[in-house]
Structure 1
């Protein structure tokens, strides 16, 4: 797997999404989203309640 994915994780300048700072922000965002859905798994219903008012 290192052969195929290693450059993206190391910040290869040829890969547009491989900026190390952006890569860390993606992990932080996914961890925050996972934590929110862990405590409120039906979060999508909050937006649905406003469609019927």
Structure 2
């Protein structure tokens, strides 16, 4: 699966070296559950370029 970050390349730059893995922490009082999520193979970020004919 391919992930896409539409705001900035930061997510891509962090997830790609980690093979797409990230963690989710759920806290409930004193209890804390951590899950490792591995749903994507890589993350993509589209560069923000405009065609030369587009207004600024």
TM-score, with structure 2 as normaliser: 0.27
The one of the two structures with greater contact order (alpha-carbon pairs below 8 A, sep at least 6) is: 2
Pick the structure with more strand per residue.
2
TM-score (norm 1): 0.28
